[in-house]
């Protein structure tokens, strides 16, 4: 009997997020008859229970692995990874997220792991960083790319960025869109989430799904909602997610006196029910690898207004599948929201065009098949 190929996926930790969903779908759907699959991370976050339920996948806990820079914790995490790789002798190590990508790729190259792959779900650097910090992260990416057989990007725009910054040669980069479960994210209307918020039938529900973090810039979204709240007194905004900015967000909501119009719901285990209740999806991020929540919203046929950052224009083609605005500009964002709400017929046509594009390109089964094909190519 042919022995299985030993694969390890490494990610920093398991909060609700696009990179985590991508990783878990991959280990869930890869062929267990062909691969001996393991998942390694800090077993912390809302998706840990989902990870524990995956059949025939071994879990390895690295408790010192974390997003924040901490020399002590990072060294301890690196040593744990190095020891694990030496003991388990994996054929393929596939890393996800910046910190896990750094420490695990270094440990893999020192262990002479035959195949090392890294998926770039989003860059550790962005245009809002100071120049020195940004250049340091770009240098690190270039160094790590030398130790990587293939870099997977989740958008062609990110692939272009890697080439333009000379991080890696084009022949080392493979674009594989981050898939979603199309059987869940359908365009069937469902008012379950609206009922949770005690909304009436004539209320407009605007919403976003994502971490309450600096990257997602929810403050700009709340400021924009403050502008549109007067011309649209029946509009409500739901922020689905949790994160470090929750305190600041509550202060901003108090300041704008919008406590009865803006709803912080925390994380949801069934985000598709949120989209099924929405009239308009908004994303105000300052950077995104792709914007998984946009693909989810469009798959549900929800009109979208998003910031024009990194991989987003690959899904949201301005005035074709949605509306794009520049980041960190609450006035422009408010203008785009008002324009959309004033012409929902056009907005729904754009959303339908977006839904077709997402359904053709972002099926999770296609994503896993593409990853499997890449493994086969590297193993041959």
Q: How large is the average pLDDT for residues 55-80? A: 94
Measured CA to CA, the distance from residue 62 to residue 105 in angstroms comes to 15
Could you give phi then psi for residue 180, rounded to 5 degrees? -125, 165
pLDDT of residue 126 exceeding 90, the answer is: no
Beta bridge partners, 270, equal: none
Q: Which two tokens mark 22? A: 């991508």
Predicted pLDDT at 123: 85
| Whole-structure pTM value | 0.91
| Alpha-carbon separation of residue 168 from 17, 98, 101, 119, 163 (angstroms) | 26, 16, 15, 13, 6
The superfamily in CATH containing domain 5-179+363-379 is Glycogen Phosphorylase B; (3.40.50.2000)
Radius of gyration of the chain (CA): 21
pLDDT of residue 270 exceeding 90, the answer is: no
pLDDT of residue 1 exceeding 80, the answer is: no
Predicted pLDDT at 258: 97
Measured CA to CA, the distance from residue 287 to residue 122 in angstroms comes to 8
pLDDT of residue 129 exceeding 90, the answer is: no
For the stretch 177-219, pLDDT in tens is 999 999 999 988 889 999 999 999 999 999 999 999 999 999 9
Predicted pLDDT at 222: 98
Q: How large is the average pLDDT for residues 288-299? A: 93
What is 192-361's CATH topology? Rossmann fold (3.40.50)
Contact by Cβ (8 Å): 15, 47: yes
For the stretch 339-360, pLDDT in tens is 999 999 999 999 999 999 999 9
For the stretch 3-48, pLDDT in tens is 999 999 999 999 988 899 999 999 999 999 999 999 999 999 999 9
For the stretch 211-248, pLDDT in tens is 999 999 999 999 999 999 999 999 999 999 999 999 99
Q: How large is the average pLDDT for residues 254-282? A: 95
Secondary structure E strands in the chain: 5-13, 35-42, 57-61, 92-96, 115-120, 150-153, 173-175, 204-209, 235-240, 262-266, 280-283, 304-307, 323-325
Q: Measure the N-to-C terminal CA separation of the chain; round to a whole number of Å.
A: 19
For the stretch 313-332, pLDDT in tens is 999 999 999 999 999 999 99
Measured CA to CA, the distance from residue 263 to residue 188 in angstroms comes to 23
Predicted pLDDT at 4: 95
Q: Do domains 5-179+363-379 and 192-361 have the same CATH topology?
A: yes
pLDDT of residue 124 exceeding 90, the answer is: no
For the stretch 134-186, pLDDT in tens is 899 999 999 999 999 999 999 998 999 999 999 999 999 999 999 999 999 99
Would you list the domain boundaries of the chain? Answer: 5-179+363-379, 192-361
């Amino acid at each position: 009997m042919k022995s299985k190929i030993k694969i390890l996926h490494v990610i920093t930790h398991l909060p609700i997020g696009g990179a985590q969903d991508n990783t878990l779908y991959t280990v869930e759907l890869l062929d267990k008859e062909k691969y001996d699959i393991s998942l390694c991370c800090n077993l912390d976050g809302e998706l840990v229970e989902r990870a524990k339920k995956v059949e025939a996948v071994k879990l390895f806990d690295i408790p010192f692995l974390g997003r924040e820079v901490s020399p002590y914790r990072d060294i301890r995490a690196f040593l744990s990874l190095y020891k694990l790789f030496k003991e388990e002798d994996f054929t393929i190590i596939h890393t996800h997220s910046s910190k896990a990508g750094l420490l695990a790729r270094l440990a893999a190259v020192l262990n002479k792991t035959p195949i090392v792959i890294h998926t770039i779900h989003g860059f550790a650097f962005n245009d809002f960083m100071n120049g020195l910090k940004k250049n340091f992260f770009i240098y690190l990416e270039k160094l790590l790319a030398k130790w990587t057989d293939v870099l997977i990007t989740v958008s062609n725009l990110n692939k272009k960025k890697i080439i333009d910054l000379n991080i890696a040669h084009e022949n080392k980069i493979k674009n594989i869109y981050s898939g979603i479960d199309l059987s869940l994210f359908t365009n069937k209307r469902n008012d379950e989430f609206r009922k949770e918020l005690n909304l009436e039938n004539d209320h407009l529900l605007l919403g976003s799904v994502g971490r309450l973090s600096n990257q997602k810039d929810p403050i700009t979204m709340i400021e924009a909602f403050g502008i549109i709240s007067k011309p649209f007194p029946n509009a409500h905004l739901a922020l689905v997610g949790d994160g470090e900015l929750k305190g600041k967000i509550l202060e901003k909501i108090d300041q704008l006196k919008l406590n009865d119009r803006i709803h912080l719901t925390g994380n949801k285990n069934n985000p598709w029910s949120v989209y099924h209740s929405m009239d308009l999806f908004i994303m105000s991020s300052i950077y995104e690898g792709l914007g998984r929540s946009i693909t989810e919203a469009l798959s549900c046929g929800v009109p979208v207004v998003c910031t024009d950052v990194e991989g987003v224009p690959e899904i949201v083609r301005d005035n074709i599948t949605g509306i794009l605005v520049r980041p960190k500009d609450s006035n422009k964002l408010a203008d785009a929201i008002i324009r959309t709400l004033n012409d929902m017929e056009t907005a729904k046509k754009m959303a339908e065009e977006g839904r077709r594009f997402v359904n053709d390109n972002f099926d999770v089964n296609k994503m896993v098949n593409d990853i499997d094909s890449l493994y086969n190519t590297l193993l041959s």
